[in-house]
Amino acid sequence: MSTTPDAGRILEIATGYMAAKQLFEASRIGLFAALEGGPQTADGIAAATGVSARMARILADAMAAKGLLTRTDGAYALAPDAAAYLTGDAAVIDLAPFLTFLSEISYPHWLQFGHTVDTTEPGDLQMDDARWATFMAGVMTYNRLHGQEFGRHIDLTGATNALDFGGLSAAFAIAAMQATPGLRTTFVYAPGFEDGLVDAVAAAGLTDRTSIELADTATAEPAGAYDAVFANHVIHRFSADENRQIFRRLRAAAVPGATLTVLDFFLDDDAEQRALDAVHAGEYLVIDGTVVYPEAEVRSWLAEAGWDVRDKVALPGSPRVLVATAV
């Protein structure tokens, strides 16, 4: 018997783009929404989506093979995660804008990754207004998922006064306030990043528990006595020296014992590197040259600034969070 290992894992990685593109197109044509009312055959999916029965079966079989659908006696039905995130208006969070971003912006941009590998430079996004709209709709949708998981997995029991610093989305603070009665939040965001903040807070019914200040993230010195501080999706946008200064200033604004959350993707030294973080290191670099930092480096910045990391939480389908205490 041969002891040569099989090539299955290599082929699964190498052909991963095929499944991704079929997911993007299944979402675009409304395949998952067509199954929201119950199981359908390929002919039923075709009638609901306007594609051929042949195409409906190809896409449905691919999604069943990946576990997003089940197939019983020729009828396809939604798996629970597909029902929750891929069914349009019926979804808990509709991930379609994020899938559109991946399909129309990220996926074709990765064709420049060879240049990035050779030069460590990002590719050329060649953005116009329409592409920026697709970009931002996708990123903010993905942030909604991050915020949901942040609220589910990060315990801020007892916190009353939070600082959301330099972020990209109100979703994290909103989820924290919804999970922590009595918590109020001051947003300190860079000019231009506050778009939609007021509307998002108002839609969540939290206007009376929030305030908003505008300041440059790299140089801002927030004032206050905060017992919870959020630095979520911040560090990848700044240099190591800028991040060191940011964490020092955040420590100065926090009371002893305050909780700091640092949400981002990290390259780790664990026995097995988390795949989602590792692939995003390439995504961030090829898209715009931003950095997925090694976790050990981030921990060193925190220690220098007076923060003691007490936990690392992997949010499902989302970044990880370093949870630290002000010492």
| The pair of three-digit structure tokens given for residue 165, joined into one six-digit string | 């610093």
b/e 270-279 (16+ beta carbons within 10 angstroms → b): eeeebeebee
Q: How far apart are CA 153 and CA 150, in angstroms?
A: 5
pLDDT recorded at residue 196:
85
Can you say whether residue 72 is alpha, beta or left, with left for phi > 0 and alpha for psi between -120 and 50 degrees?
Answer: beta
pLDDT recorded at residue 192:
86
- 78 and 175 belong to one structural domain: no
- Please say whether the beta carbons of 305 and 244 come within 8 A: yes
Q: Does pLDDT of 169 surpass 90?
A: yes
Quick one: pLDDT band at residue 94, thresholds 50, 70, 90? very high
pLDDT recorded at residue 248:
98
DSSP letter (8 states) at residue 91: S
Q: For a pLDDT cut of 90, what percent of the chain falls above it?
A: 97
- 71 and 163 belong to one structural domain: no
Q: How far apart are CA 147 and CA 243, in angstroms?
A: 22
Question: Using one digit for the tens of pLDDT, what is the confidence trace for 274-284?
Answer: 999 999 999 99
Residue 232 lies in a domain: yes
Quick one: pLDDT band at residue 257, thresholds 50, 70, 90? very high
| The pair of three-digit structure tokens given for residue 11, joined into one six-digit string | 């082929």
CATH number at residue 29: 1.10.10.10
Nearest by Cα to 320 from 259, 251, 268: 268
- Please say whether the beta carbons of 187 and 170 come within 8 A: yes
Quick one: pLDDT band at residue 131, thresholds 50, 70, 90? very high
Domain boundary among 90, 107, 128: 90
Nearest by Cα to 267 from 289, 288, 236, 230: 236
Instruction: Evaluate the CA torsion angle 279, 282, 284, 287 in order and state its sign.
Output: negative
pLDDT recorded at residue 193:
82
Q: Does pLDDT of 2 surpass 80?
A: no
- 161 and 309 belong to one structural domain: yes
- 173 and 32 belong to one structural domain: no
- 315 and 212 belong to one structural domain: yes
Q: How far apart are CA 197 and CA 153, in angstroms?
A: 23
Average pLDDT over residues 120-148: 95
Q: How far apart are CA 247 and CA 140, in angstroms?
A: 25
* β-bridge mates for residue 197, sequence order: none
- 82 and 203 belong to one structural domain: no
Quick one: pLDDT band at residue 135, thresholds 50, 70, 90? very high
- Cβ neighbourhood burial of 243 (10 Å; 0-12, 13-18, 19+): buried
Residue 121 lies in a domain: no
Mean pLDDT of the chain: 96
Write the CA distances from 262 to 227, 266, 290, 314, integer angstroms.
15, 10, 16, 12
Q: How far apart are CA 27 and CA 201, in angstroms?
A: 29
- Please say whether the beta carbons of 138 and 98 come within 8 A: yes
Segments forming the whole domain that contains residue 73? 8-90
Residue 132 lies in a domain: no
CATH number at residue 276: 3.40.50.150
Write the CA distances from 95 to 137, 172, 271, integer angstroms.
10, 17, 31
Q: Does pLDDT of 318 surpass 80?
A: yes
pLDDT recorded at residue 230:
98
Residue 163 lies in a domain: yes
Domain boundary among 71, 90, 109: 90
- 164 and 247 belong to one structural domain: yes
pLDDT recorded at residue 59:
98
- Please say whether the beta carbons of 197 and 210 come within 8 A: no
Residue 315 lies in a domain: yes
Q: Does pLDDT of 1 surpass 80?
A: no
User: By three-state DSSP, how is residue 201 classified?
Assistant: helix
- 61 and 174 belong to one structural domain: no
Q: How far apart are CA 296 and CA 311, in angstroms?
A: 13
Question: Using one digit for the tens of pLDDT, what is the confidence trace for 177-235?
Answer: 999 999 999 999 999 888 789 999 999 999 999 999 999 999 999 998 999 999 999 99
**Vertex 86, ends 80 and 92: CA angle to 5°?**
75
The whole model's pTM is what? Answer: 0.94
- 169 and 308 belong to one structural domain: yes
Nearest by Cα to 288 from 146, 109, 96, 117: 109
Domains of the chain: total: 2
